[in-house]
Amino acid sequence: MIEAVLGMGGLALAAGLGLGFAAKKFHVEGDPRVDNLTALLPATNCGNCGYPGCRPYAEALISEEISNIGLCAPGGMETMEKIAAMLGVEPVEMEADTGPKVAYVREEDCIGCTACIKACPVDAIIGANKQSHTVIVEMCTACKACIEPCPVDCIDMVPVPVTLYSWTWSKPGDHGAVH
């Protein structure tokens, strides 16, 4: 009887120590892929993808909870392609990427409710109560977080015009190339 108890107890102790040691020794600090993927995302935590922030979206993609890699609007086509390359999946169709855009408040329609100001994840909208608001173009990431809260639908996404200072050469052979 006593041998059995001792034997089982010893076995349990050995197994417990082994497991405890293994847990410490081979501890994994989360999934490193989540960190890598989060680094690709714009870090605005705008919630446009339907997740509370950039990291949760990365976690959802890694855990294969969802498969749509094209939900990050501020990241755009470029970020989607990077995610596709990292996860080894095919790039997906995104809402036609017609170049960079920014939010624009139609000031004559704005009632000054500050709803968009509260929604902006990068504090790129300025204005005060009952004063018309406006977007600081250089800081807008086009995450569209301000569109939904606006009660009078006075925010549009407008394309950023190409200027002499932002224009780039197209690659030789590409469409529109100048020789």
Partner 1 sequence: MGIVASVLKKFHGGVHPTGHKELTERCAIEPMPMPERLIVPLHQHLGAPSVPVVQVGDKVFKGDLLGASGGFVSAAIHAPTSGTIQAIQEHPVGHPSGLTMLCVVIAPDGADQWNPGLKGTADPTTLDPSAIRDRIKGAGIVGLGGATFPSFIKLSPPRDKVVDLLLINAVECEPYLTCDARLMEERPQDVVAGIRIMLHALQTKQCVIGIEANKPKAIAAMEKAVAGQSDIRVVSLPVMYPQGSEKQLIEVVTGRQVPSKGLPVDVGVIVHNVATAVAIRDTIELGHPLVSRIVTVTGGGITRPANVEVLIGTLVDDVIRHCGGLKSHTKKVIMGGPMMGLALHQTDIPVVKGTSGILALTAEESSGKTEHPCIRCGSCVNACPIQLVPCTMAWFAKTDQIDQLPKVDLFDCIECGSCAYVCPANIPLVHYFRYGKLTLQAKDREDKKKALTKQRSQAREERLAREKEEKERKKEEMKAKMAAKKSDVGSSSEVKTGSPTVSKKVTAKGGTATDSKGGGDDPPVDHAKTAKGTSLPEE
* Rounded (10°) angle between helices 54-62 and 32-40: 130
Q: Where are the strands (E) in the chain, listed by range?
A: 101-105, 125-126, 134-135, 155-159
From the CB of 99, what's the least distance to partner 1, in Å? 12
Nearer to partner 1, 26 or 172 (CB): 172
From the CB of 140, what's the least distance to partner 1, in Å? 9
User: Is-contact 57 69, C-beta < 8 A?
Assistant: no
Using CB under 8 A, list all residues that contact partner 1.
Answer: 42-45, 74, 121-124, 138-139, 141, 162-164, 166-173, 177-179
Nearer to partner 1, 11 or 136 (CB): 136
Nearer to partner 1, 28 or 164 (CB): 164
From the CB of 8, what's the least distance to partner 1, in Å? 52
User: Is-contact 57 20, C-beta < 8 A?
Assistant: no
Nearer to partner 1, 19 or 162 (CB): 162
**What gap in Å lies between CA 27 and CA 167, rounded to an integer?**
49
**What gap in Å lies between CA 72 and CA 85, rounded to an integer?**
15
User: Is-contact 125 27, C-beta < 8 A?
Assistant: no
Nearer to partner 1, 26 or 165 (CB): 165
β-bridge pairing 125-126 and 155-159:
unpaired
From the CB of 166, what's the least distance to partner 1, in Å? 7
From the CB of 19, what's the least distance to partner 1, in Å? 39
